[in-house]
Amino acid sequence: EESKSIVISEDPALPAASASKINGLSQYRGQRVKVYGWVHRLRRQGKNMMFVVLRDGTGYLQCILSDNLCKTYEALLLTTESSVRIFGTLKEVPEGKSAPGGHELDADYWEIVGRSPAGGVDNVLNVESNSDVMYQNRHLWIRGENMSKILKVRHATIKAFRDHYYDRDYVEVTPPTMVQCQVEGGSTLFKFDYFGEEAYLTQSSQLYLETCIPALGNVYCIAQSYRAESSHTRRHLSEFTHIEGELPFITFDQLLEALEDLVCDTAQRIMDSKYGQLVLDLHPEFKVPQRPFKRMDYREAIAYCKEHDIKKEDGTYFEFGDDIPEAPERKMTDMIGEPILLCRFPKAMKAFYMQPDLADPIVTESVDLLLPNVGEIIGGSMRIYDEKELYAGFKREGISPDNYYWYVDQRKYGTTPHGGYGLGLERYLMWLLNSNNVRETCLYPRTADRCKP
């Protein structure tokens, strides 16, 4: 009761405190600072000492609150995830002890900014929580160490892609995501009413990128794509971040080389950045893959599955023309254990726009990049560049060409061989971080059973 009446105040005789984020504190060793953040961890030692690990997004800082500082009403009620302001002198940790940054804050004054309920977040989320509870509380879960590391690596990854493209003179464009054309088949389209007309959330920005190459040369975009996927797998989302590139005047082999370059160069950039250590924290064995990647035709994959007893769900072997679904594809990828450029899928199982292989027209100049632990992370192809062939493609897939006049015009006004690809950012991160679910590498995952928070 008595302790509740203890009130503290800042001593005006102390030197003014410099404000700093946690990651910038080193320059203030031995000086008085003020730091703002959230109580990440809290430990009381007897009545006269309290250790707070403070978190501000840039790092963690050990703070020592002693004597009256840990006896106030706010101190007695303090819980993890409360936000606070702490003033004190930054001291090097004593010999033989360790703390983040190699220093700790010896507090002389502190204030609560926003309280957190009794028990902190542990009452909502703890080691016993099942995945449904975790995702329901994703907004709190992301405050944890692992999740915030993943989000930081995601940030570094997006920058690595932009830097990769910038250095290779690709131009970034921002296509619309409300569209009236399908790209990857009608079964996964999200439809909505657009002022009385039927419209969709885009499945891919590819068609728009194709229209940009005569204006800008090599182009790319980083945009959200949407798929009404009812499949519950480790790697399907209904909204994902799609990194797509499109290149004029290339051959299929050059497309494959562009994919190797994309994956290896971006991974190298991330590892060389200040976030490389976070990748190793989460995935200690990660290594930037070697080029060239193994190339394998779809026909060879069918044969590989037969030879290695990888079967369809119904127990029979895959035949030419069958889609190789996720599980067997993973099995093959993990058996081979290195990146695979899986090429030349049959025309009948692929999208309307894919260029046939002139040497073997029943297959297309198409490619999936398969990586260990994930399977497919990239899908790409050469595009049909002849107007009549494109109409035949629409017909085969039962698509009315009316809404595609602008896409067809691409073939009328100076057509050229060209190709491109789409890479799923969440799947790339799954590979980079050895994560077992694409929902983990996404801020607020959208799946068939969840559209919140």
Per CB under 6 A, residues contacting ligand 4AD are: 183-184, 203-204, 206, 227, 229, 236-237, 240, 242, 244, 376-380, 420-424, 426-427, 438
- CA–CA separation, 16 vs 19, rounded Å? 10
Closest CA to 332 of 293, 306, 365: 306
Nearer to ligand 4AD, 82 or 203 (CB): 203
Instruction: Write down the least CB distance from residue 17 to ligand 4AD, Å.
Output: 47
Q: Which is nearer to ligand 4AD, 55 or 242 (CB)?
A: 242
Which amino acid is located at 130 in the chain? N
CB of 426 to ligand 4AD, least distance (A): 6
> Tokens 């900014």 appear where?
113
AA identity, residue 261: D
Closest CA to 341 of 285, 384, 380: 380
Q: Which is nearer to ligand 4AD, 110 or 421 (CB)?
A: 421
Q: Hey, what are 330's tokens?
A: 């993973």
How big is the CA angle at 407 (ends 403 and 410), to the nearest 5 degrees?
150
Give the shortest CB-102-to-ligand 4AD separation in angstroms.
41
For ligand 4AD, the closer of residues 65 and 209 by Cβ is: 209
Q: How far is the CB of 229 from ligand 4AD (least distance, A)?
A: 5
Closer residue to ligand 4AD in complex, CB, 181/423: 423
How far is it, in rounded angstroms, from Cα 235 to Cα 237? 7
DSSP designation for 83: E
Name the CA dihedral angle for 23, 25, 26, 28, rounded to a multiple of 10 degrees. 170
In whole angstroms, the minimum distance from the beta carbon of 181 to ligand 4AD comes to: 11
Alpha-carbon distances of 73 from 80, 111, 135, 326, rounded to whole Å: 15, 11, 34, 56
By beta-carbon proximity to ligand 4AD, the closer residue of 190 and 317 is: 190
| Least distance to ligand 4AD, CB of residue 27, Å | 43
Q: Record the tokens describing residue 436, joined without a space.
A: 């077992």
CB of 61 to ligand 4AD, least distance (A): 37
Residue among 112 and 336 whose Cβ is closer to ligand 4AD: 336
Do 138 and 148 meet the contact criterion of CB atoms below 8 Å apart?
Answer: no
